[in-house]
Amino acid sequence: MSTGTRTRTQVAIVGSGPAGLLLGQLLHQAGIDAIIVERHSAEYVLGRIRAGVLEQGTVEVLDRLGVSSRLHAEGSIHEGVEIGFRGRRHRIPLKTLVGKAVTVYGQTEITRDLMEARAACGATAVYEAVDVELHDWAGISPKISYRRHGVAYEIACDFIAGCDGYHGVSRRSIPPPALNIFERVYPFGWLGVLADVPPPWQELIYANSERGFALASLRSPTRVRCYVQCSLDDRVDDWSDARFWDEFRRRIGEEIADRVIAAPSIEKSIAPLRSFVVEPLRYGRLFLAGDAAHIVPPTGAKGLNLAVSDVFYLHEALRDFYRERSERPLEEYSERCLRRIWKAERFSWWMTRQLHRFPGDAFAARMQETELEYLFESIAAQTSMAENYVGLPFGPSTDSLRTHAAA
């Protein structure tokens, strides 16, 4: 229904990260028309190296969409995770404790799978859209506008999904007095390196060392992804590959350090750590989802997984609206998301506090030692950690909520 540079769709999605792309596919499966508008090129989006750990609930959503065949072929299932402390490693046996595991499969690969699925079903995604603006979302006829290669475009829609990440335009379009913001900024960042070398570890190792945190992760049997806690003043150029591997070896524990190969990095980046939640997630006909609404420090591996549960709830609410003209799930969207978001915020904050160096706080250092000792001694504490790490349940779907209400 395109008239010149004006188009109409049911849902305009801002951002083609995991939240936007996944919402696009979920809506497509529900027969709802959507257009995705993204600021960067598809290649740029695919070049961002981020998450690696998927909860079982996330994998189940991708299964339902039929976009998980490569994930099952190439991803690896991890039934445990290790915590390094004072030179020793302690395994948390996830599967034994809570009956679930996590899957290691890069965010880049999920993004590629979702982009391919979108192209295969002929749905529209506009890349390199600049000056994206949101209009009239407080009323019933919202619009978004943007420019592409010098031409102005407008999309009229029923709803806008703000899936444009922490630095996006959607949250910034809402008048500040309407936003309730909860935030904690941590006094350090993570320096991440990707390198083509077989990992000398089978499961992820989160290490608390005197010199700061380190994480040993992987992407495949021939590719590692490793992180070290760094100063907020550090720049990527301050860290040669040799310096990175030297620091990583000193933190990860002797037994692994001896087997680490200082391979050349194929990607290196620094991410600051923050906890952030905005309430509510709904403003009229604008719905925020994923990093646009919340940030977790990466220590708990929750950011991508939360983006998935948000858009899962949003697609159910939009589906019910179009099927039955029922507004209720849309009204409940924010509360439903926030219940899960705050629990993931709590867990990520807890993991971050237990594993990083917080200089100048002797009491906090003793509490950290005590927490970790307790964790290694107590099956109850390990079960709690495992339950959160593999992901808390999504909760009942709107279908089953309706069945309950009718009973």
Please give the positions annotated as active site.
78, 206, 298, 302, 389
Tell the smallest beta-carbon distance from residue 226 to ligand DHB (Å).
9
d(C-alpha 37, C-alpha 318), whole Å: 19
Residue indicated by tokens 């959607």: 170
Interface with ligand FAD by CB under 6 A: which range of 38-46, 193-201, 204-212, 389-397? 38-46
Do 133 and 145 touch, CB atoms closer than 8 A?
Answer: yes
Nearest residue (beta carbon) to ligand DHB: 52
Tokens matching residue 327? 């507004």
Cβ proximity of 347 and 388 under 8 Å: yes
- Check residue 125 for interaction with ligand FAD (CB under 6 A): no
**Residue 225 interacting partner from ligand FAD, ligand DHB, none (CB closer than 5 to 8 Å by kind):** ligand DHB
Whichever of 195 and 301 has its CB closer to ligand DHB, that residue is 301
d(CA 388, CA 385): 5
Identify any residues that bridge with 105 across adjacent strands, giving them in sequence order.
none
Told to check if 298 binds ligand DHB by CB under 6 A, we report yes
225 near ligand DHB (CB under 6 A): yes
356 contacts ligand DHB (rule: CB under 6 A)? no
Determine, following the binding rule CB under 6 A, whether residue 219 of this chain makes contact with ligand FAD.
no
Q: Measured between alpha carbons, how far is 249 from 13 in angstroms, rounded to an integer?
A: 43
Q: Which residues contact 380 (CB under 8 A, 6 or more apart)?
A: none
The reply on whether position 147 binds ligand FAD by CB under 6 A is no
- Per-residue CA distances from 278 to 144, 178, 182, 290, 385 (Å): 22, 10, 6, 11, 25
Least distance from C-beta 46 to ligand DHB, angstroms? 16
Distance, in Å, from the CA atom of 228 to the CA atom of 240, rounded to the nearest integer, reads: 13
* One of 52, 75, 290, 329 touching ligand DHB (CB under 6 A): 52
148/153 Cα distance (integer angstroms): 8
- Reported in sequence order, the residue ranges of 33-92 that DSSP labels E, i.e. its strands, are 34-37, 53-54, 76-78, 81-85, 88-92
Out of 217, 275, 334, 382, the residue judged to bind ligand DHB by CB under 6 A: 217
Which of the choices ligand DHB, ligand FAD, none does residue 14 contact, using the CB cut-off of 5 to 8 A by kind? ligand FAD
The binding site for ligand FAD (CB under 6 A) comprises 14-20, 37-40, 45, 50-53, 107, 129, 132, 163-165, 167-169, 190, 192, 271, 290-291, 298, 301-305, 307
Binding residues (CB under 6 A) for ligand DHB: these are: 51-53, 204, 215, 217, 225, 298-299, 301
